[in-house]
Amino acid sequence: MLRKARRRGALRALLAICSALQSGRRRAPTLIAQLSMIFWPARRAGDDKEEAAIVPVPSATETAPRAPSGSLLDSLFSSSGAAADQRRKATPATPSRGTSSPSPPTRQILQQSAGSRVPQSSAVPLPSAGGGAVATDAVAAATNAPSSASVTLLQAELDQLRREVSNLRYERSEDQKTVGELRRRLDAALEDHKRTTERLAEQHKLEMNELERRHERALDEAKREGDRAAQILSNVREQEGSFGNLATRMDTLNFTLAQLRESVQSIGGRGEAMEANMNTFAGDLRATLNCQQSEQWKRLETDRQQFRHIFPRKN
């Protein structure tokens, strides 16, 4: 019972200090929430109803400002764990029952008390039965004690939070600079990749055009070679025809010579001179024909060798 009475007295003293700070500062809800989180120890589940009964209710004529959001308080007190530990060590009057956070109903009641402007006279409730003297002494001690240490701790925590916010802003700016630099590098890499791709595509196109031109030139060369071979074959055939005509003429000449011999033999008696002249003429004519024939044969053989060299025979 004595422990519960001391706890109630400490709670009432805390609410009195919060009411005093609330009446003198503009950011009183935040200070009240911070003081409540600092000095409010862990409780058992059975103490919620007793502590909820002693929370003062604001009057209906006063206007209540907007209470601080729970997410903001959680972010503030989660980032300042070291300052909260120092503050707990620097407050010996606060009873400790553990390290767990307050239960949700009591925390909601504290936020409601932090969000309402309660005058100092109505912030301290009447002492309950069983611990009235101890609670009155605790309220008097808390009212008369200076709150400079709490304000100093709060100011130190606020400075720590400002430094952390400044560090976070600096880190955010550095991250933005890093992201900007990475984006610039990515854009440069993409531009370089685009230029490289375009250059490779242009080179590939030029190489394909060059290969097509070479292929066309090779086709034209093959076509010219085919035309040349066809022309040589036609020349060989013409030479063969000329050779046949020459053979026909030689046969005709041989027949004419035979007729001449018959005429010479039939004439007879003209003397040896005429016969010698005829023999000489016939010999010269034969030599001339043989020479022409040999030249024709040589020419045909040369054309045949060229044709065989261009179109070799398949075994």
- Between 4 and 12, name the one with better pLDDT: 12
Instruction: Give the mean model confidence (pLDDT) for residues 268-294.
Output: 79
The predicted pLDDT at position 248 comes to 87
Least Cα distance to 35 among 57, 69, 11, 65 occurs for 11
Q: How many Å apart are CA 95 and CA 75, to the nearest integer? A: 25
pLDDT in tens, 75-98: 444 444 444 454 455 444 444 443
What's the mean pLDDT when you consider all of the chain? 68
pLDDT score of 193 more than 80:
yes
pLDDT in tens, 26-44: 444 555 555 455 545 444 4
Q: How many Å apart are CA 200 and CA 217, to the nearest integer? A: 25
- Between 215 and 80, name the one with better pLDDT: 215
The predicted pLDDT at position 37 comes to 54
The predicted pLDDT at position 180 comes to 92
HSE-up of residue 186 (Cα within 13 Å, Cβ side): 6
How many Å separate Cα 269 from the centre of its chain? Answer: 121
Token pair, residue 13, equals 């003293």
User: Which residues, 6 or more positions from 87, have their beta carbon under 8 angstroms from its beta carbon?
Assistant: 38, 153, 157
Instruction: Give the mean model confidence (pLDDT) for residues 292-304.
Output: 85
pTM above 0.95, yes or no: no
Q: How many Å apart are CA 177 and CA 160, to the nearest integer? A: 25
Q: How many Å apart are CA 236 and CA 227, to the nearest integer? A: 14
Output the CA angle 24-27-28, nearest 5 degrees.
Answer: 60
% pLDDT > 70, the chain: 49
Q: Is 270 helix (H, G, I), strand (E, B) or coil?
A: coil
Q: Picking from 78-82, 165-169, 242-246, 310-314, which range would have the lowest pLDDT averaged per residue?
A: 78-82
Q: How many Å apart are CA 181 and CA 290, to the nearest integer? A: 100
pLDDT in tens, 218-271: 999 999 999 998 989 888 888 888 888 888 888 888 888 888 888 777 766 666
Check: CB of residue 123 under 8 Å from CB of residue 21: no
